[in-house]
Amino acid sequence: MSTDAIALPGTELASQPFVARLHDWVTTVDHKRLGILYITFSLLFLLIAGVEAMLIRIQLIRPHNDFVSPQVFNRLFTMHGTTMIFFVIMPVMFGFANYLIPLMIGARDMAFPRLNAFSFWMTAFGGLLLYFSLAGANGLYGAGNAPDVGWFAYAPLTSQTFSIGHSTDFWILALLVSGFGSIGTAVNIIATVLCMRCPGMTLAKMPLFAWLNLVMAGLVILAVSPLTAAQIMLLVDRYLGGHFFDTQAGGSAVIWMHFFWVFGHPEVYVLVIPAFAFASEIIPVFSRKPIFGYSVMVAATIAIGFISMSVWAHHMFTVGMSSAANNFFVISTMAIAVPTGIKIFNWLATMWGGKIEFKTPMLFCIAFLFQFLIAGLTGIMQGAAPFDWHLGNSYFVVAHFHYVIVGGILFTLFGAFYYWFPKMSGKMCSEALGKLHFWLFIIGFHLTFDFMHIPGLLGMPRRIYTYEPGRGWDTWNFIVTIGVFFQAAGILVFLGNLIWSYFRGKAAGSDPWDAWTLEWSTNSPPPAYNFASRPVVKSRRPLWDFKHPADPDWNYE
């Protein structure tokens, strides 16, 4: 494990004055630094949106609570949802994609480094714009501050009549601006994966991480663009006196729902496919086996990508569509469960007969498998229109999608942090703190989101700021809120672990997990140029071939 003979640029940076280092970070076009900027930015917003979630849950801990006012409650759930989707999970996934894809495919950088920097700063300014609404949204009428129209901002609530002042405009502009950033990053990821691979790495030999992020980028292209179009229409309505969503001039409020969910459902897969990508890299390494059914995994991901474009109106069963439309969206929603199920079986088959190491990243991925299965099952329940007529807009829905986003996506994301932190920082994370984080978070997660299904089944609607006692919701809401404190403690342990390990962690070396993809063949952290010479690969696990020259993978692929 010798380091490269070439002197590492960056080692002398530590001695530079703070302003010079800051200048380097702000003007960087290096994919690794931009990746870290993306990740840091989203961790900051994770804290903010997490505090918003805590305030929401404290308000709901008992009936007739008056911890926050109804107006503030509306702002809290709007900002929580918008921030978590657009400024936490999307950027953190882009951050990992940015950092890892060029390393995994043996490239020097992304295809368009300056576009990459542009996209990051667009996303960052979008996030700042959203939170600037707290100070800047008073407007002429002095009404409102943060946006309070809900994260899907149904018409006509967003019209000038019902949303005076500028809070909704900040919401629109924040998503428009960060949307341009997302499209830029997606274009970059597609060009990088298709054009920058090192010699020998055919599409069928790419790490699954690169494959899945390619599909994710394709979905961003096709999903975020409709949102951009819808936001432009909303601006036309609000500023130029247009009538797109103005029901009094013959416009339709329902068409906003269609435009929003044409974005909104593929967006779920934009968020979850990178989570699948993490699991597909971590589970094989800690099971000491190659991934089971590589080509089926790729095919299933592409199938999910296609089908996810045709399921959007299952968010709208309660609006009252024709039975033909209902049937179509029920069937397509059921259909998407098939490729997703295939993936779960493939991960299980990868673990089957493996020599499983229960390190922190693997713990998070195993929890993900169970929790994502349950999230998928409640998804199928609500995919049946008659069932959804009863549970639409209830806490059952809230519990379901948090099961996907927290139980599925956030868990693999934590796994990814523990798995790739040694590569990014050169230091190992503390296993003890990692396990403490895992157990705190899994207890908190299940207390909160398992029990959240029940008040939903008992008829508790989402987005109410308080409720009457004696409806059977009190105990469940109490338990749900208690779970939040466990999760918050877990997050604090996690952040503490990152900071402690960065300064005090033991050196990681280039390949601490004995893994098989190219990013582990260079130093930790990698030098600015990534690889001293361009790698050439012959199989899906180039480092296995390198470590076992007598029994290389290409004999079997």
Partner 1 sequence: MNATSMTVAGARLEWNPPERGRVAMFSLIAAEAAIFTIFVVAYLFYVGKSLTGPTPKDVLSVPVLYTICLLSSSLTIHLAATSLRRGSILSFGLLWVATITLGAAFLYGTAIEWYRLIYNEGFTISTNLFGTTYYSLLGLHGFHVVVGLLSLSIVMVFTLLGSVRSEHAERIDVLSLYWHFVDVVWIVVFTVVYLIGR
Interface residues toward partner 1, by CB under 8 A: 1-2, 4, 106, 111-112, 183, 186-188, 190-192, 194-197, 199-200, 217, 221-222, 224-226, 228-230, 232-233, 236-237, 240-244, 249-252, 255, 259, 262, 510-511, 518, 521-522, 531-538, 542, 545-546
CA distance 215 to 201: 18
Nearer to partner 1, 46 or 262 (CB): 262
Three-state SS at 353: coil
**CA within 13 Å, CB half, 239:** 11
Q: How far apart are the first and last CA of the chain?
A: 27
For partner 1, the closer of residues 15 and 322 by Cβ is 322
The nearer residue to partner 1, 176 or 413, going by C-beta atoms, is 176
How far apart are the C-alpha atoms of 555 and 290, rounded to whole Å? 14
CB of 164 to partner 1, least distance (A): 18
Minimum Å gap between C-beta 246 and partner 1 is 8
* Smallest distance from partner 1 to CB 488, Å: 38
- Kindly report the CA angle at 383 between 382 and 386, in degrees rounded to 5? 70
- In sign, the C-alpha dihedral spanning 517, 518, 519, 521 is positive
DSSP secondary structure letters along 392-432 = TTBHHHHHHHHIIIIIIIIHHHHHHHHHHHHHHHSBPPPHH
Angle at 477 between CA 474 and CA 482, to 5 degrees: 125
Q: In the complex, what is the shortest distance from the CB of residue 529 to partner 1, in angstroms, rounded to a whole number?
A: 10
321 vs 342, beta carbon nearer partner 1 = 321
Rounded to a whole number of angstroms, the minimum distance from the CB of residue 546 to partner 1 is: 6
The least distance separating partner 1 from the CB of residue 243, rounded to whole angstroms, comes to: 5
Nearer to partner 1, 192 or 287 (CB): 192
* 113 vs 459 by CB, closer to partner 1: 113
Which residue type does 121 have? W
Contact present, 110 and 102 (Cβ < 8 Å): yes
- The nearer residue to partner 1, 217 or 428, going by C-beta atoms, is 217
CB of 15 to partner 1, least distance (A): 26
Residues, the chain: 557
- Max distance between CA atoms of the chain, in angstroms, equals 76
> Of the two residues 274 and 407, which places its CB atom closer to partner 1 in the complex?
274
Residues 6+ apart with CB under 8 A from 141: 164, 165
CB 543 within 8 A of CB 520: yes
User: Shortest gap between Cβ of 293 and partner 1 (angstroms)?
Assistant: 26
